[in-house]
A and B are shown apart, each in its own frame.
Chain A
C-alpha cells in the first residue's frame, strides 16, 4: 500500500505511560484510506484515549511509526506536531467542544488561526462559516451568538463545522454523539458525512455505541486494533 492510499497508519506502535508501568498499548497495524468513514468501537478503558493521543501527537510512541497524512509524527518537533495536527486533523470531542464566551463564528474559524494551509483554502472564513452552518442545519443567526448559549446538539454541529473548515484530510470524532439522543445522532452523522464526502475527507469516529455501525464504511473493534499491555511492559 503506498502513501497515496493511506491517510493514517500506525504500525507496530508500542506505548506505555511514564510512571504507570502497569498500563501500555500495542497497536500492530491500523491503516485508514482517504475518504473512508471508520467507526472504532471500544469500551472506556480500552485504550481509546491513548490511541487518539498517539495520533494527535500529544504523546509519542516508544517504538513503531505513527504516520498522519504522510508525516511520521515522531520525527518532528512538538511545535511542528501542533501545527501538523491543526493542518491535517479536524477534531470533535464528546462534549464541551467550544469556547463558551466566543461567538460561533470565532469558534468555527479558530483552527484557521493555527493552520495557515487550511486558512489558505478558505478565502472568506466568515462566508465559509456561514455556508457550513447552513449545510449542517444551523440557522445563520447563530453565527453571532455566544457558543455557550447554544443547545448541546447545536454545539456539536458547530464543532463539526469547526472540524470541517479548511477541509483537513482527516476528521477524528471522539464520542461526538454520546450527549445526543438517537434521532439527533443519526442526523448529525448524515450532515457530517455529506460534508466530509464532498472533499474526500477520512472520518474516524470513536464510540462505544455499536448502533451507529450501519452508517459507516468500516467498523473496527478496539480489541482487534490494539492490545492493552498490562503488567510489566
Chain B
C-alpha cells in the first residue's frame, strides 16, 4: 500500500513529475548515446583493418600514416618510391605486399590504385575478406571496382562508365580515359565502401598526358596506345605488408624504419590505433564528463522538484504521521518516490536511446560511415542505469531529510 500511496502521490503531481522524468530520460539517453557512439566508433575503427602486419609509407607520423592509408582521412605528405617498394617486396620476411596509391577522386569518393591482390589480402572485422556483390575483380586496365556506398550513392551498375578527377576537389577531369565499373563490393562498414578501386597501372595510365598536375595542351594519347605502354609507377602512397612469421614483424619494422635510401615509416596497425586512442581519449573523456554533468543536472532538477513539493505536501505528511507513520516512513516515502522517478527516467532514457538508434543508424552510417549496432543493453549500460537510480536516491536524501525534520517538528498538526 505504501507503494500505491507513493505512486498515487506522484500521479497527483503528474505534470511536474513527468517533466522531471523527461529531463532524466533525456540526460540518460544522451549519456548512453555518447557512450554508444564512442564504443561504436572505436569498434568501427578497430574493425577496419585486420590481418595486415605492417603499413609502410613515407616518413611522417604513425597516426597520420594509419589515417590516410586505411581510413582515407587526410593526405600523404610524401610518397614512397617504387624502387623502395620493390626492395621491400623482395625481402625474404615478406609474405605478401599490396601497394596503395591515392590522390585522385571520383565525385566525392576517393580513388585508390592497387593490385588485384588487395581483394585477397585486405581483411576487416577480425579476418573477413572483401566480397563482390556484383561483377568481378580488375581484369582490364580501365576496370574499376567500387565500394557499396559508391554504388548506392551514385546509382552505378556494372559496365557503367566513370570518369576520374585529378586531385580531391578538382574540376580537371581525366575524361579522356573513362573507366568501366567491373565489380561492386558488398558493404563492409569500412572506408572501402566509399572507395573506387582501380589498378595501379591505371593510375599511371590516366596521368600519361599530364605533367605536374596539369594536362598537357592538345596532347591526347589513344587508349590502345596506352595499353601498350609499360605504365610502371614512379611511386606509391603506402603499402600493406604481411610477414611470413609474426616473430619477424619487429625486425622488419626496424629495417624499414632504418632504410638508408629513403626515409620510410613502418607501423603496426594495432599499435598506431592505440596511439590514436590516446589522442582521442582526452576528447572522449571530456564528452563523457559533459554528458555525465547533464545527468547530474537532471537529478539536481529532481531534487529541486522534491524540495518545492515539500510545502504543498505538509498536509499529506501530517496525515501519515497522524495515522502512526514514523518520520522515517516519511523519509522512506520521499526516497522511494525519487527512486521511482529516477528508475522510470532511466528506463525511458534507454527506450529513447533505442528509438534514436533506430532513426539515427542509417543517417550516421551514411554521413560518417559509422555503423552503430542495435544490441541488447550491455552490462555496462545496466550499471550506468543503476548508478543513475542510486544517484537519484542519494540526491533525494537531502529534501527527504528536511521532510523528516519537518514532520518531527510539525508532528501531526495539519497546516494548510
Number of B interface residues at 8 Å Cβ cutoff, please give it. Answer: 25
A69 in the interface, Cβ–Cβ < 8 Å?
no
Contacts of A110 in B (CB 8 A): 1, 5, 319-320, 323
Contacts of A85 in B (CB 8 A): 322, 324
A114 to B320, CA, bound (A): 9
B315 in the interface, Cβ–Cβ < 8 Å?
yes
**B51 CB to nearest chain A CB (Å):** 64
B411 x A86 contact (CB < 8 A): no
A102 to B325, CA, bound (A): 16
Q: Which of A59, A83, A115 contacts B411 (CB 8 A)?
A: A59
| Residues in A94-121 with C-beta less than 8 Å from chain B | 94, 96-103, 106, 109-111, 113-115
A110 to B11, CA, bound (A): 18
Contacts of A96 in B (CB 8 A): 315, 319, 414, 416
Contacts of B324 in A (CB 8 A): 82-83, 85-87, 111, 113-115
B329 in the interface, Cβ–Cβ < 8 Å?
yes
A58 in the interface, Cβ–Cβ < 8 Å?
yes
**Contact-residue bracket for chain A:** 20 to 34
| Residues in B327-349 with C-beta less than 8 Å from chain A | 328-329
Question: With A101-B9, A106-B8 as given contacts, are A113 and B414 in contact (CB-CB < 8 Å)?
Answer: no
A132 to B414, CA, bound (A): 25
B8 x A111 contact (CB < 8 A): no
B11 x A109 contact (CB < 8 A): no
A114 x B329 contact (CB < 8 A): yes
A63 in the interface, Cβ–Cβ < 8 Å?
no
Contacts of B4 in A (CB 8 A): 102, 106
B15 in the interface, Cβ–Cβ < 8 Å?
no
Contacts of B321 in A (CB 8 A): 58, 82
Contacts of B322 in A (CB 8 A): 56, 85, 91, 93
Name A residues whose Cβ lies closer than 8 Å to a Cβ of B: 49, 53, 56, 58-59, 78-79, 82-83, 85-87, 91, 93-94, 96-103, 106, 109-111, 113-115, 162
Name B residues whose Cβ lies closer than 8 Å to a Cβ of A: 1-2, 4-5, 8-9, 11-12, 315-316, 319-326, 328-329, 411-414, 416
16 new A-B contacts at CB < 8 Å, known A83-B326, A87-B324: A56-B322, A58-B321, A82-B324, A83-B324, A85-B322, A86-B324, A93-B414, A96-B315, A99-B319, A101-B9, A106-B1, A106-B8, A111-B323, A113-B1, A113-B325, A114-B323
